[in-house]
Chain A
């Protein structure tokens, strides 16, 4: 970076970039050079589905204590969802907060483990979403487009960088017990070649659909069939020597079976020492923490095995009521996993080259309407403020950027839209959103849709 600073790129670097562009265009997964030098090479995106409350997790608002149960008047416009209309009351946070780390960032005391690693984390309180509707907001966060159908961030990253391990998918998704709202559109390759589609690894059954043959089909039998198939295909190819696609289809069967051989080993958490598993909360008394911890440990193993982008999903953050119980349980279920992930990435030397992102699709409101005949402590959706943090390669660790107003309704300092987060995440991965383009439906498309700017304060 220093050698290239301000001097433009040398010819060597330039030819590497041209080669990388060609590889991208060909739609293969071969690894390729980034647009610029960057520490982070991989990304683990912890997606908190449902809209975690920034107010109750990492952005406390003591003022709500004095306003609690007093009436809140919202400006009525025709751009407000039904949900946010009617009689509304301020709701204080039922949680306690403490200062953690050198920066003294205030976070919920239930983050017992996570509080110990916040010096590696950059908190950002200035992001704004645009939609208060789950599926559109999820599509926006994951693909840059509220309407769905566009490539996901993980697909763009794989398109930009390729992947190291050709026997594994470049982009892996570890869903919770159910797919998120909007379904597989959240990890779509959109208009990019199909290689870049997110591959969901299921928590139950075969991790990849049909990776294993039906019961009773032995490896020998399968190998015999595959050998016969290959013979048949070669004879066929000899009759169509000019048809190059035939070879790639023959190869794809070989690749499939290398993947079939390698994947179970990568996914086998029993290969990890007991101590490591325990650190992630695996085998502990909280089954939710166990399930989430497994996904976090899996994410580390996948990145270690050369997967470019892993998205871990934790659902259940949509606490319109009983936020004390619901958010309390959610925080307890993720605390150990996220803390262990950062600690473990650091221990294995991977934190430097891995970007960790934690975000929901939007934040929550400081107020609530009347529900179920009375006032219960919960929060509705809020697109103008949210909870987010980053860790890992290139991130400004131990820092708090941006701020919301004193009731947590709106981000007011260092405010940026989602597209700027996308530009920043790509930048941290060595990719330039303005260069990472793909021609589709009449124009060059990019993750930010129309370009955005870097959120510099998040960058070391």
Chain B
């Protein structure tokens, strides 16, 4: 201990006492002490905001006696001596306490820096200034100007084959069909490109593609995450709402208002109620082991961050604990914005299905799940019977009616006569029932939504949170929480918006302190042409998804730490145009897609690598790897297996069998085994319509950088790792789809034309002579191989058996998981196909793995 003290003292002595105070003491006083002793309240008459206050001390005596740490109550309290431990519920580190002692020993100098609380420079605040208008500008002018300054020129237009592939992936997330490619290539009309863009923008596939981008940002999932990962049974309606909004080109300001305050602003509108699911999109759970105040605070932090990142492109995380170091956002502002949500409560209100929603799957889905539920209840009743039989044996009777009153019920309750292995089975079924009970609600006309104050009878906090009645409800007070510590609340704040925006001429509205109307005020403040961030942030996102990189490269961070826009005027031009065109997202698409910049070739000009290695100036179109969903959807599309079914509750894709069979822990027991949807048309839907389970992402999606469902994903990574090769070359899904692709080619082309057809489908072009030769040789070799071997028969479906550690014994028990009652509609299997098709499936598998299949130029 002595040694340690010496080492620390040596380390600390490098600082002047004033530096020590500023760097180590003041932050602790602010974040851990002043909440109770200074800001808003002065407990024990102790005010730790000034040196005088420390010297004066409180009820017990002087907090600081300069030069005498041992006599200072501050040190005693931090050390937990004399029955006093501060801060409550937390113990500061030994290093911090040593620093306090060191500072007191040095006379406790108070040297609060008065100026320069923030480190931002004027140019760092570009995003908060009003958007400049450029009425006569074009995208190409802005881009050419910057290129010319670097002595670079734009690239020529890409060829038509490349262009239709690029724009079809871009707008729909799917490859163009060979027929679509040929039609565009041979369309000699002057407005061929405009017609193509219009066709794609009006395709329902467009909303599926661009809705998915939005779902990345809001971290959409169909489950809650954490230990039980319960389903959010009506969340799918929010997903479909987003897709509809993009397809119908819902004005973005309306889209914002509905998601932040749909329930307050449009109380009669079901669509707007569904939209508020946005506010609950983050992971959330409350169990008997959670602390309610903590769970609530986690939600409040989550919704504050989520709203700011999504619509304002601001990262507020830092301001939760201390005044933001980089952006002009004081902690107080963070909590004022949080107070907007203080009256936001979870609701699952009735919300009739809309004509625009796909409800066709609800009946069969409910029927299927009911079958499973009934089967599980029957199993559970079996254990009741065992307990009753046990009681009858004990009482020497043979009929339940002969048991004394209450004995049978008690036996069932206390699980009498149920051995430890059976007890684990019973717990498994109980857990499954808990999960199913939530899932059953997905077929009901309800919304995954919020309300201001509880909606009597329609609240949604799970069994563990008790809401007061609407009449007795009062929104909780929001305090600044220095250091983010809820145990030491500081100053109370009223709901409000970010104050610094006023300094740039955008006035802050009065946010009512009433239960209702807080979010409406926030929504109106965000969805406003005068808000400098809103339009810029969305215009930048649109640009980013078209080009792979935003004009401002950090789409969720327009503050100082985010990278500055490469073309600030262009960003303002787009933001201005966006608002002018009635917040039409499709209008922004059109102006981008019609530009030369978008239609450039992807071959870099010779001097680009030296002058602009990251192509920030856009002298060519940067090629990109497709996202995980696009990859899976494209595989299904070229194989002819893509299901046109859209909307409704998520379905279950065919995933890696080992992952499907992997036991999944749920609090106290295991989840049911994963079953892919039995019907091909269900499991082969577009990925956006698959069930998004936080604890089990489709490994194919995951390995290709699928969006993390826990935090906002502003931009997909596109890393290349060897496990991707396993997923595409070895997985059963890839093999099944390659075979389906081969069967399609066999149907559509005569033997001599099959190589060509396969290339047409996969790449939208005929093979080169060299490719044709190589492919034909490979096909010949593989045909010979397959003619000589008999394919293995279709493997039998093995039961899923899991082991679990018994709570009573600590021993491991085997649990047999139940099969899906629906008969599984199998994929085609090699054992049913002749050697030519099996050989063709080797070729198609290689095409699905090829670089050309996964990159867009």
A contact residues vs B (CB 8 Å cutoff): 27, 78-83, 128, 131-136, 147-149, 177-185, 188, 190, 193-195, 199, 202, 204-206, 208-217, 220-222, 224-226, 228-229, 231-233, 235-237, 240, 242-243, 245-246, 248-250, 252-253, 255-257, 259-260, 287-288, 315-316, 318-322, 325-330, 372-373, 381, 412, 414-417, 420, 441-443, 450, 452-453, 456-457
Contacts and interface: CB of A to CB of B under 8 A. Distances in A.
B464 A252 contact: no
Interface stretch (B145-153, B173-181, B186-194, B721-729): B721-729
Contact of A242 (B227, B561, B603, B726): B603
Contacts of A456: 4, 7
Contacts of A208: 723, 726
Interface of B: 4, 7, 80, 89, 91, 93-95, 225-227, 229, 283, 285, 287-294, 298, 315, 317-318, 321, 326, 413-414, 464, 486-487, 554, 556-557, 559, 561-562, 602-604, 609, 623, 625, 656-659, 661-665, 667, 670, 694-697, 699, 702-703, 705, 708, 710-711, 717, 719-727, 729-732, 735, 768, 770-771, 774-775, 778, 781-782, 785, 789, 791-792, 795, 802-812, 830, 842-843, 845-847, 849-852, 854-855, 857
A414 B5 CA distance: 13
15 contacts: A78-B291, A80-B291, A82-B464, A135-B225, A149-B711, A205-B657, A211-B730, A212-B730, A231-B774, A253-B725, A315-B805, A326-B807, A412-B80, A442-B554, A442-B561
Given A134-B289, A147-B710, A178 B802 contact: yes
Contact of A452 (B93, B735, B775): B93
A178 B670 contact: yes
Nearest to B846: A229
A79 B486 contact: yes
Nearest to B558: A442
A181 B719 contact: no
B289 A326 contact: no
Contacts of B849: 229, 253
Contacts of A222: 729
Given A252-B722, A442-B562, A133 B227 contact: yes
Contacts of A316: 805, 810
Contacts of B735: 213-214, 217
A135 B229 CA distance: 11
Contacts of B720: 245, 248-249, 252
A27 B791 CA distance: 42
B721 A252 contact: yes
A417 B609 CA distance: 48
Contacts of B661: 205
A322 B807 contact: yes
B312 to A, nearest CB: 13
Given A177-B802, A252-B725, A81 B291 contact: yes
Contacts of B89: 79
Contacts of B850: 229, 232-233, 236
The 7 closest A-B pairs by CB, nearest first: A329-B810, A316-B805, A178-B663, A256-B725, A256-B722, A326-B810, A205-B658
Contact of A135 (B94, B226, B657, B670): B226
Contacts of A259: 722
B719 A194 contact: yes
B533 to A, nearest CB: 14
A246 B699 CA distance: 23
Contacts of B292: 78
Nearest to B292: A78
Question: Which residue of B298, B663, B694, B720 has the most chain A CB atoms within 10 A of its CB atom?
Answer: B720
Contact of B625 (A81, A245, A253, A325): A245
Nearest to B854: A249
A210 B656 contact: yes
A178 B813 CA distance: 13
Contacts of A243: 602, 623, 855
B846 A228 contact: yes
B374 to A, nearest CB: 26
Contacts of B603: 240, 242
B289 A233 contact: no
B665 A252 contact: no
A217 B524 CA distance: 60
A319 B808 CA distance: 9
Given A134-B227, A232-B850, A329-B805, 20 more contacts: A133-B290, A134-B289, A149-B708, A177-B663, A179-B663, A182-B695, A183-B694, A209-B656, A210-B730, A221-B785, A236-B852, A252-B725, A255-B722, A256-B723, A315-B805, A318-B807, A325-B808, A326-B805, A420-B93, A442-B556
Nearest to B812: A288
Nearest to B732: A214
Contacts of B855: 243, 245-246
B293 A79 contact: yes
Question: Which residue of B664, B847, B850 has the most chain A CB atoms within 10 A of its CB atom?
Answer: B850
Question: Which residue of A252, A373, A443 has the most chain B CB atoms within 10 A of its CB atom?
Answer: A443
A247 B603 CA distance: 16
B315 A330 contact: no
Contact of B846 (A199, A217, A225): A225
B217 to A, nearest CB: 13
Contacts of A180: 665
A194 B609 contact: no
Contacts of A417: 93
Contacts of B80: 412
A14 to B, nearest CB: 21
A184 B561 CA distance: 30
Nearest to B726: A210
Contacts of B413: 373
Contacts of A320: 807
A78 B88 CA distance: 13
Given A179-B664, A202-B662, A322-B809, A83 B289 contact: yes
Nearest to B655: A209
A194 B557 contact: no
Question: Which residue of B285, B732, B849 has the most chain A CB atoms within 10 A of its CB atom?
Answer: B849
Contacts of A373: 413-414
Contacts of B557: 441-442
B723 A209 contact: yes
A341 B146 CA distance: 62
Given A210-B730, A443-B326, A182 B804 contact: no
B289 A133 contact: yes
B809 A443 contact: no
Contacts of A257: 725
Contacts of A318: 807
A457 B843 CA distance: 62
A348 to B, nearest CB: 28
Contact of A194 (B604, B694, B705, B771): B705
A183 B696 contact: yes
Contact of B809 (A214, A252, A326, A381): A326
Contacts of B561: 442-443
B723 A199 contact: yes
Contacts of B770: 235
B696 A81 contact: no
A226 B730 CA distance: 11
Nearest to B325: A443
A195 B721 contact: yes
A416 B289 contact: no
A214 B710 contact: no
A135 B554 contact: no
Contacts of B719: 27, 193-195
Contacts of B283: 147-148
A381 B287 CA distance: 13
A237 B623 CA distance: 13
B809 A325 contact: yes
Nearest to B283: A148
A233 B318 CA distance: 46
Given A80-B291, A149-B708, A213-B729, A327 B810 contact: yes
A414 B94 contact: yes
Contact of A177 (B318, B731, B803, B806): B803
